[in-house]
Amino acid sequence: MAQVHLKHLYKTFGDVSAVSDFDLEIQDQEFLVLVGPSGCGKSTTLRMIAGLEEISKGELYIGNRLVNDVPPKDRDIAMVFQSYALYPHMNVYQNMAFGLKLRKFKKKEIEERVREAAKILDIEHLLDRKPKALSGGQRQRVALGRAIVREPQVFLMDEPLSNLDAKLRVQMRTEISKLHQRLKTTVIYVTHDQTEAMTMGDRIVVMKDGVIQQADTPTEIYQHPANVFVAGFIGSPSMNIIEGRLSEKGHDVCFKGTGLEVKLPAGRGKILKEKGYVEKEVIFGIRPEDIHDEPLFLESSPDSRFTSKVEVAENMGSEMYLYLSGIADKWVTARVNARTGFTAGSEVELALDMNKIHIFDKESEETVF
């Protein structure tokens, strides 16, 4: 069993607290993604698991074994880096075989494992080539192959796709996911790319300033972000964040921000009232796809309709991103069908899906709902 248990891990570099109280159980065969902006402590966390960075405080278990003091080579893990770190003077076969040779595997066993991995990765025809004669995607496959032949309990991957161009990245993304299904091992994968996190992870851990913000399935994180940071980080284009105030009008609870006044559905208004948020400043969130332009939707949403000016219209082919002015202090983004053909400068009428709104506490920035 290859579960990995990080028990209240800390890492400090002098005065810098790189990772703080990281507490997480990663299940056997889980594909776990660590995601967050540059400097949030993802690589340091991975390097502690790999044994490349000493743990300042806390305990790390791989399987059921406490490994704080176990050297990297004895941890039964394999790591794939962003820079493929292939040996330039060795051909693909030798690169893949190298780690096994060091571990004194028999020649026949090495040959079997390398050929099997090459088959899985579709690089059998490249075994005689040197790295410089390979494309970026092929090099990355060799780097994966070198990890696979070790048959480790846990794969650690640090931004393995970031040196590839956009198209190849998408292709390798699916290949790594398929590989995971086939090998049935635990994968811990670091990226700053929220799309990679959303598409690859069984579970995502969003980090900021060395601290876990939320650990959950992609769907849960997308639909129920724990705070403003997670809400803004996961999702592209980002969730619109609008500051304003909740107030009571008759039996209704309304949100009022710059250029926007909307009525909340009765159930949601009631919750906010009970929690003491009425007549208080709050942060209001709405995802771009929850802003609609369809006539039927507009007709049935008199309480959340507004007009706005399109500053920029980005046509993505099947859909269109409208950047709208007049609401909040910055542009609000709406994601609509490209057939609408909106252009910059036009006035549009839109409505919010009020069942999809998010409300955050102004001070703590934690989600209220």
Residue 180 interacts with ligand ATP (CB under 6 A)?
no
- State the number of binding residues for ligand ATP (CB under 6 A): 12
State the binding string over 190-209 for ligand ATP (x if CB under 6 A, else -): --x-----------------
Residue 15 interacts with ligand ATP (CB under 6 A)?
no
Residue 64 interacts with ligand ATP (CB under 6 A)?
no
Single out the segment in contact with ligand ATP by CB under 6 A; choices: 40-48, 70-78, 291-299, 331-339.
Answer: 40-48
Compare residues 18 and 161 and give the one whose CB is closer to ligand ATP.
Answer: 18
Residue 33 interacts with ligand ATP (CB under 6 A)?
no
Compare residues 4 and 118 and give the one whose CB is closer to ligand ATP.
Answer: 4
Residue 259 interacts with ligand ATP (CB under 6 A)?
no
Residue 369 interacts with ligand ATP (CB under 6 A)?
no
SS (H, E, C) the chain: CCCEEEEEEEEEECCEEEEEEEEEEECCCCEEEEECCCCCCHHHHHHHHHCCCCCCEEEEEECCEECCCCCHHHCCEEEECCCCCCCCCCCHHHHHHHHHHHCCCCHHHHHHHHHHHHHHHCCHHHCCCCHHHCCHHHHHHHHHHHHHCCCCCEEEEECCCCCCCHHHHHHHHHHHHHHHHHHCCEEEEEECCHHHHHHHCCEEEEEECCEEEEEECHHHHHHCCCEHHHHHHCCCCCCEEEEEEEEEECCEEEEEECCEEEECCHHHHHHHHHCCCCCEEEEEEECHHHEECCHHHHHCCHHHEEEEEEEEEEECCCEEEEEEECCCCCCEEEEEEHHHCCCCCCEEEEEECHHHCEEEECCCCEECC
CB of 37: closest distance to ligand ATP in angstroms? 7
Compare residues 22 and 342 and give the one whose CB is closer to ligand ATP.
Answer: 22
Residue 43 interacts with ligand ATP (CB under 6 A)?
yes
Residue 82 interacts with ligand ATP (CB under 6 A)?
no
CB of 250: closest distance to ligand ATP in angstroms? 49
Compare residues 18 and 127 and give the one whose CB is closer to ligand ATP.
Answer: 18
Residue 13 interacts with ligand ATP (CB under 6 A)?
yes
Residue 6 interacts with ligand ATP (CB under 6 A)?
no
Residue 318 interacts with ligand ATP (CB under 6 A)?
no
Single out the segment in contact with ligand ATP by CB under 6 A; choices: 12-20, 64-72, 148-156, 341-349.
Answer: 12-20
By CB under 6 A, name the binding residues for ligand ATP: 13, 16, 18, 36, 38-44, 192
